[in-house]
Structure 1
Amino acid sequence: MATSTSCAQDVIACDLCDKPTQQFCNSCQANLSDNCEHSGQRCEVNCKECDTPVCVKCIGLGPHKGHDVEELTETYEKKLQEIKAETDRIKAKLIPECQEEDNEIGNEISQTKSKLVSNRDQKTELSIEIGDYRATLGQMSKPTLSADVCLSTSGTELMDQVRVIAIIRNGYTPLYGVVCVGEAEAWVFGSDRTISRFDIHGAVKNTVTITGRSHWPAAISINCFRTQSKIIRYQGQKINQEIENDILGNPIFNGSGYEALYMSENNNGDLCVSEVHARSVVGVDKTGRVRFRYTGTPAKRKNATSPISIVTDALSQIIVADIINDCLHILNENGQFLRCVEDYALVKPYGLSVDSEGRLWVGLRGENDWGEPCSYGEIIVIKYLQNK
């Protein structure tokens, strides 16, 4: 028994009579007065409705009056049977099922380890399957150039004044393209059938001769000989996306279809495209939605912008070669103008590439405005980023 604590202005009545409560029976969960106290009463039955043991007095007169009851021994036997049945079910069903799943997972892990070792050695596509889950990784290779650049240029920004650190005379007149390899080398090609690899000091490391129907190696660009230009994205040999019209059905690219589209994929997945004929730079996202269109107006050049080669760097900046104005336009990832790079050495900039050290390699065309060869067939290596 426990003594009840009540306030004079809020009297709690006994559950068996109308007199004030003086005690509370923990076993029967009943409020009792002095006259109704049943200390010494044994809880001999179980109230089925309340699922609690009670004494006979509470069943007849108290809060459990009218409830179904059963003998405590009967309740005990029922509880014992329930526990035994649940234990048997766990032993007969749940434990074997868990053991079987454990064995299956162990086998799958062993098989996956074997596939990992095999695919690692063969450097092929990696497919991992565990139960209903599957993951596929592409061909394993060394980190890409853009990843290397990101690592080496973190915490950098544009320099107030760029600096030419090397001039490489390569003999390509005209020069059409530059593709950096690592930190201090680049492949260079022009109008003949050769591609040569130069280091930053001008030494020729390798030369490859191209065979086939083409008169010269083509830059990595889209050149559609049709009335409308478009970008085609391939997965292997299968076309999985064509970017041609906007959401209103209008052509995204305003060129005639007979001019090349020079393209570079930015770190955010945008395709940054320079349209030679339309004299503009267009940015489209992964879905083909136009994000921006830059026409060169903010740069305030003497002549209309003539974008040729285009490249993106580790800061997601977009760099465009302007062959008419002898300069480079630098835009942010949203196509907003940041600045122009001008230097006495930048004459007819054409090819662009960024090495793993974050330096910009600019190939000069080597032709004048009339297509006549001149002495500009050079590569200018520019330092344009600095630590913050």
Structure 2
Amino acid sequence: MSRAQDAVRCSLCSEVVVIHCKSCDVNLCGQCVKPHIDRNLSIKHEILPFTSELFDPEAEVQKCKDHPKQPCDLYCQDCNVPICSRCLTGNHKRHGAVDLEEICTTTRTMVKEDLEELKNFQKEYEKIVKSLKMKAQKYTEHCKQEKSSLQKIKQIWHETIDRSIQIIEKRLDGMLEEDMKCYQDNIEEIQRALERVTKSLKRNENLLRNDNSFTLLEYESEVEELRLVPARRDIKPPSLHPKDVQEEAVVQQLVSLEFSVRSSLPGFTISKTGQVCTVSTRVLVEEHTLLATIKTECSKLKGIQCESKERVWVYGEDEKLRLLDKSGSMLNCVTAISGNSQKDIALNKDGEIAFSHKTEECIYLVRNNKMEKLFCTPGWIPYGVSFNVDGELMVCMRRNDHMESKVGIYREGNLKKEIQFDETGKPLFSASRNNMYITENGNSDICVSDWNACAVIVTKKDGEFRFRYTGNLSRSFKEFYPHGIDTDSYCRILVVDRDNHCVHVIDRNGKFLCFIACTLHDPFVLSVDSEENLWVGECDTGCIKVIKYLD
């Protein structure tokens, strides 16, 4: 019997389908409609009666490769493959698995978001192509103008050379005229002497032929007078001597050519709203390099903020804020309020340090080495703090009875926004007394590491939930307990995994990229400096390890 003749079954169970969810493109029986909607409350479901026109006879329910009789209803995040429930006791035991329909829904939402972003990308890329074509056209026109100028230079030098040749020709003609006159004078003088010799010769021949005694007595010899040949000038003809000049030297004498200059324009990211910002194009390296190990005087290192590529602020259980250089030398020290209640530190653009105070439920600011209370969070214990690009202070808070958690965004001490629940009203963060850390990504996302939830929760700037990263267990069987968190200029998220002695690197959409271990022991907090080297603070050892992870 063909598939088209069989009864169409529910996507969640084996019952006959009666309903079709157009939003999720799944077929459902009557019993599975409510569980499907409850499982995906963030989506507005369009429920339609199932008809044969909605059935695609070519579509098949994906079966598990390891258990062919079982439909795939889960997705293994470690192996990135669909699996069935039985796989959790076999090849995918202890792997992170999520509901297949849920991840498909999440992916579908991501595809829709990406579609809108891709439209922005298209506009930006079209602008770049248009700009490059215009530059290429201007470049060609410029080169044509330069070639025209070169022809003018050629004409000028041709005329100059012609004039120079004419001058030399004129000089040569002058020499010829003068030297020919000299030769003519010599010829005339010698010619006259020759005529005298010839005349004397004929006279003597006649005397001897006539042999007349009286005539012989009158003879006067001219031999001695003609014996001396008159002086004359000898002239060496002029010679042209072409200069032995190299062709390149001639070119340099004629005109200089400044070569075109090529430079690299930095890449940039395009935000969801279409805004652009320049970013680094450096890539992750396979082998991470330990650049330095800095020993601090901190007992239980719990806070770290890079001030520059050479200096870092740290604090520990002794409640002192220290500014250190890469050698570990202390450049400044500020004593915070005692009581071991300090939770986190943040550095703003003006070099001022904000820190959270657990006992007093407030935020302090260190300005010019003096402390002042910035604002209070009555009823809420502040934990992680971080300044965003707008200069606002983002604060992670847990209610003092540890039953709720949230993020508050403050501007000049005034609460501007709270982030606590997702679109369905469910809490985004865990309810506990354990640490939370926070940072802003380059795409304006807010990233929170929640120790008790064993997750990194990422929301948009307006607080809309984006994704939750729960670790990658391929490296260790220990649970993922995130601590310190930061981002780099390529919007990668770096988060400490204390129990597994490493740092997780994920992309802006929560995809795992790599681990950074590099001899880390009990890592607790981290910070990325201006050269995008990673500074990791180890709690128990009190050491900071500076690691190169980009190329």
Instruction: Say whether the 8 Å CA contact 1:298–1:337 is kept in structure 2.
Output: no
Say yes or no: does 1:378 pair with 2:543: yes
Instruction: Say whether the 8 Å CA contact 2:295–2:543 is kept in structure 1.
Output: yes
Shift of 1:223: 3.5
Say yes or no: does 1:198 pair with 2:318: no
Shift of 1:300: 4.0
Specify the alignment match of 2:297 in structure 1.
171
Match for 1:350 among 517, 524, 540?
A: 524
Specify the alignment match of 1:217 in structure 2.
342
Cα distance in 1 between the residues matched to 2:302 and 2:505: 20
Which structure's residues are more often strand, by fraction?
A: 1
Instruction: Say whether the 8 Å CA contact 2:397–2:408 is kept in structure 1.
Output: no
Cα distance in 1 between the residues matched to 2:484 and 2:423: 27
Match for 1:320 among 495, 501, 525?
A: 495
Specify the alignment match of 1:364 in structure 2.
538
Map 1:302-313 to 2 at 5 A: 302-313=477-488
Q: 1:242 to 1:214 in 2, by over 3 A?
A: farther
Supply the AA of the counterpart residue of 2:311: E
Match for 1:285 among 460, 469, 473?
A: 460
Cα distance in 2 between the residues matched to 1:317 and 1:299: 20
Cα distance in 2 between the residues matched to 1:336 and 1:268: 16
Shift of 1:216: 4.5
Supply the AA of the counterpart residue of 1:349: P
Cα distance in 2 between the residues matched to 1:238 and 1:257: 25
Cα distance in 1 between the residues matched to 2:324 and 2:493: 25
Say yes or no: does 1:238 pair with 2:385: no
Cα distance in 2 between the residues matched to 1:195 and 1:299: 37
Cα distance in 2 between the residues matched to 1:169 and 1:349: 14
Q: 1:300 to 1:290 in 2, by over 3 A?
A: farther
Supply the AA of the counterpart residue of 1:230: K
Say yes or no: does 1:340 pair with 2:515: yes
What 5-or-longer segments of structure 2 have no aligned partner? 1-276, 346-383, 385-395
Say yes or no: does 1:182 pair with 2:358: no
Specify the alignment match of 2:284 in structure 1.
158
Say yes or no: does 1:260 pair with 2:435: yes
Instruction: Say whether the 8 Å CA contact 1:299–1:339 is kept in structure 2.
Output: no
Instruction: Say whether the 8 Å CA contact 1:223–1:258 is kept in structure 2.
Output: no
Map 1:18-97 to 2 at 5 A: none
Cα distance in 2 between the residues matched to 1:282 and 1:348: 22
Instruction: Say whether the 8 Å CA contact 1:271–1:286 is kept in structure 2.
Output: yes
Cα distance in 1 between the residues matched to 2:536 and 2:444: 24
Instruction: Say whether the 8 Å CA contact 1:299–1:329 is kept in structure 2.
Output: no
Cα distance in 1 between the residues matched to 2:496 and 2:335: 27
Shift of 1:339: 0.7
Instruction: Say whether the 8 Å CA contact 1:280–1:307 is kept in structure 2.
Output: yes
Instruction: Say whether the 8 Å CA contact 2:409–2:415 is kept in structure 1.
Output: yes
| Normalised TM-score (structure 2) | 0.39
What 5-or-longer segments of structure 1 have no aligned partner? 1-149, 367-375
Cα distance in 1 between the residues matched to 2:473 and 2:501: 16
Cα distance in 2 between the residues matched to 1:338 and 1:310: 15
Instruction: Say whether the 8 Å CA contact 1:229–1:244 is kept in structure 2.
Output: yes
Specify the alignment match of 1:54 in structure 2.
none
Cα distance in 2 between the residues matched to 1:185 and 1:216: 25
Cα distance in 2 between the residues matched to 1:281 and 1:299: 17
Q: 1:341 to 1:293 in 2, by over 3 A?
A: same
Specify the alignment match of 1:273 in structure 2.
448
Instruction: Say whether the 8 Å CA contact 2:445–2:461 is kept in structure 1.
Output: yes
Match for 2:426 among 229, 250, 256?
A: 250
Instruction: Say whether the 8 Å CA contact 2:472–2:512 is kept in structure 1.
Output: no
Higher relative contact order (CA 8 A, sep 6+): 1
Supply the AA of the counterpart residue of 1:385: L
Cα distance in 2 between the residues matched to 1:180 and 1:245: 32
Cα distance in 2 between the residues matched to 1:338 and 1:238: 38
Supply the AA of the counterpart residue of 1:352: L
Specify the alignment match of 2:39 in structure 1.
none
Specify the alignment match of 1:86 in structure 2.
none
Instruction: Say whether the 8 Å CA contact 1:190–1:216 is kept in structure 2.
Output: no
Cα distance in 1 between the residues matched to 2:518 and 2:324: 23
Specify the alignment match of 1:140 in structure 2.
none
Cα distance in 2 between the residues matched to 1:223 and 1:155: 35
CA deviations 1:219-277 (Å, max 9, x no partner) are 04123123011001112222221111111111111x22422321111011111111111
Shift of 1:201: 1.6
Same amino acid, percent of matched pairs = 35
Cα distance in 2 between the residues matched to 1:216 and 1:204: 23
Which structure's residues are more often helix, by fraction?
A: 2
Cα distance in 1 between the residues matched to 2:324 and 2:450: 29
CA deviations 1:25-64 (Å, max 9, x no partner) are xxxxxxxxxxxxxxxxxxxxxxxxxxxxxxxxxxxxxxxx
Shift of 1:154: 2.1
Q: 1:214 to 1:269 in 2, by over 3 A?
A: farther
Cα distance in 2 between the residues matched to 1:166 and 1:298: 28
| Normalised TM-score (structure 1) | 0.55
Cα distance in 2 between the residues matched to 1:216 and 1:363: 19
